[in-house]
Structure 1
Amino acid sequence: MRPRLQETFSASKFDFLINNAGTGLSTPFAETTVSQLDEMYSIHFKAGYFFAQHALEYLNDGGGIVNISSGLTRIIFPGSSAYASMKGALEILTKYLAKELGNRKIRVNIVAPGAIETDFNGGTVRDNQGINDHIASLTALGRVGLPTDIGPVVAFLCTEEAYWINGQRIEVSGGQAL
């Protein structure tokens, strides 16, 4: 990692790590295979866990980590048990890291987007008008989220103004399923 930091940014360390890995899985609990669960574990929990661990050597004191979760850790949607369980594990890890890295003044938070119009899970929310309309009807602000609704919140957590926010789950869903 250090040679790439040096070559690309002329730096040996960085201030913020954003863990935003993800793939979708829409399989009922009774039909989820060991292979599917292992894949969800590897992508959504294990990768974030060990990437953050490896990055500690390069993360400046006073910096931060922002993990990305999902509204599905609060909103129960059949077929999402494996995916949401791994995001839930990442939420617990966030609290532990906030405590354990506090001595370095590294703050760790997690952002939990609601349904967002992206290519995630094959673009289902973006491309299926029926699903989009249904989710919009369940959202207080009356629409599905956009990537531009999430990015500024993540960026804010990387500012001095957000210094006192640590160990928090911040849902960014427009009031989905209140």
Structure 2
Amino acid sequence: MTATTKIALVTGGSRGLGKDMALSLAQKGIDVILTYRTNKSEAEEVVKQIESSKQKAAALALDMSKVDSLGSFVEELKHTLQDKWNTSQLDFLINNAGMGATVPFADVTEALFDEFLNVHFKGVYFLTQGLLPHLNQGGCIINISTGTTRFANPGYSVYASMKGAIEVFTRYLAKELGHKGIRANVVAPGPIETDFNSSAIRSNPQMKERLSSVTPLGRVGTAEDIGGVVAFLCSDEARWVNAQRIEVSGGINT
């Protein structure tokens, strides 16, 4: 590893938004460790794409719903950093891994609530805490939220509530880690057409048309609309951007 090499960890980086984040970071000259929940072959394909751009990459398994496994993941990450980069440190943490479901408030079960809590808030909270000793001074944390913390969309009460907690958490990270030179920001996508929300948008033309109609730019988003924003926040050009919620939604419901 050269003195100028930066390393990012992108959770959920094997597909959708996370994949484009990982590829966009690589285009900025940043090495990437990405995580996947079950599909190892998908993740390894992203690693190959990154390596083809002359950056180093690795893929590790991580299930954010199993909070008690985060400690062993951090240990595995440390070994990967040492073996592949000869370091124990990261520069950027992008907490992107997530799950989706459109469930009316009246139908939400405690089991579903708890799974969303672990994946979208509790897991992010304690993974970030566990990785704090391994974040370099001058690095940054990017937490992924959602446009639905600003506008209400029926069926998203659980998802948006957890993301609302993430937005508050991010401001506290910025406040408490600033003395280490570590920035913390939120990127909040609007409706994005990926396999993550296939039932809500990709396979629902009526919903896609409705969402496009309330967006000034006249379309829903794509993964490629988000990755570059994350990569920018990891660049020196964004060194004075801190404690911000950046909505990347095409201006929906303006």
The question of a shared fold, defined as TM-score above 0.5 by the shorter chain, is answered with yes
Q: Match for residue 32 of structure 2?
A: none
Letter in 1 for 2:104: P
1:145 aligns with 2:145: no
CA RMSD of aligned residues (A): 1.0
Native 8 Å contact 2:102 2:200 kept in 1: no
Native 8 Å contact 2:187 2:247 kept in 1: yes
1:58 aligns with 2:134: yes
TM-score in terms of structure 2 length:
0.68
Q: Match for residue 118 of structure 1?
A: 194
1: CA distance between counterparts of 2:164 and 2:138? 26
Native 8 Å contact 1:73 1:84 kept in 2: yes
The structure 1 segments of at least 4 consecutive aligned residues displaced by more than 3 Å after TM superposition are none
1: CA distance between counterparts of 2:247 and 2:140? 18
2: CA distance between counterparts of 1:9 and 1:47? 26
2: CA distance between counterparts of 1:138 and 1:9? 46
Query: Cα deviation per residue 1:134-155 (whole Å; 9 max; x = unaligned)?
Result: 1110101111001010000000
Q: Match for residue 107 of structure 2?
A: 31
Letter in 2 for 1:176: I
Native 8 Å contact 2:174 2:184 kept in 1: yes
2: CA distance between counterparts of 1:10 and 1:174? 41
| Identical aligned residues as a percent | 55
Q: Match for residue 174 of structure 1?
A: 250
Say which SS state the counterpart of residue 101 (structure 2) adopts. coil
1: CA distance between counterparts of 2:154 and 2:182? 36
Question: Unaligned stretches of 5+ in structure 2?
Answer: 1-76
Question: Unaligned stretches of 5+ in structure 1?
Answer: none
2: CA distance between counterparts of 1:39 and 1:66? 22
Native 8 Å contact 1:25 1:82 kept in 2: no
Letter in 2 for 1:108: A
